[in-house]
Amino acid sequence: MGKYLDLIKPQASDTWRADEVFLKIKGNPKYLYALLDDETRFWIAKEVAGDKMSREATDYASKLFQMGKETAGKKPLTLITDGLKAYHLAYKKEFFSLKDPRTTHLTWQDDGVDNRKMESFNGNTVRVREKVMRSLKKSDTPILTGMQIFHNYVRPNQGIDGHTPSELAGIQVKGDNRWLTLIQNASRKSSDFEHAVSP
């Protein structure tokens, strides 16, 4: 399903949020970096990192932003993060330009931006599922991709009036059982897609 849905670009807004949340992989501490569209709540990209304070953290954040640009087909006009240095360094590498339109980087701490959307995402999407599993088995686990698909395409979000993020991003999943629709479409060969899911 992940490979199939990668073929469909969401209509993301111009403001994105990035944050990291602590989780365990085989009992070892890791961080899940997530990139979220501010308006639609669409989970654009994810990356699992070993440490948020090391030099490699900037590489993880850069990869997250690269995947975001590839998924959305553009870069945001506003990027909102916490004060983690890795985000700012990755922002300068992946988003900053002297040409208009420029991407502005805002931080929750310094710029007083409301963080409730990311707190809700981390708590209701990631933490609730990861907590009952106690520990994930590997960094590239399909569980995280499944959580991302469920969040974007299946679960109604009360923060956006009961819609799914995909609906607000211009992607309609037809049928009463969204999981079944996605499974059926993804199981077809790419040349046979009839796009019951259509942008």
Where do the structural domains in the chain lie, given as residue ranges?
13-169
pTM of the model as a whole: 0.86
Contact 64, 48 (CB under 8 A): no
Residue 194 tokens, joined: 């009839």
CA 171, 175, 176, 179 dihedral sign is negative
Segments of the chain with pLDDT less than 70: 51-55, 127-138, 189-199
* pLDDT for res 49: 83
Tell me, which fold does domain 13-169 have in CATH?
Nucleotidyltransferase; domain 5 (3.30.420)
Helix (H) / strand (E) element for 99: namely none
* pLDDT for res 13: 97
* pLDDT for res 128: 64
* pLDDT for res 120: 82
- How distant, in Å, are the alpha carbons of 25, 70, 107, 114, 167 from that of 111? 33, 28, 5, 9, 30
Instruction: Tell me how far apart the alpha carbons of residues 13 and 17 are, in angstroms, rounded to a whole number.
Output: 11
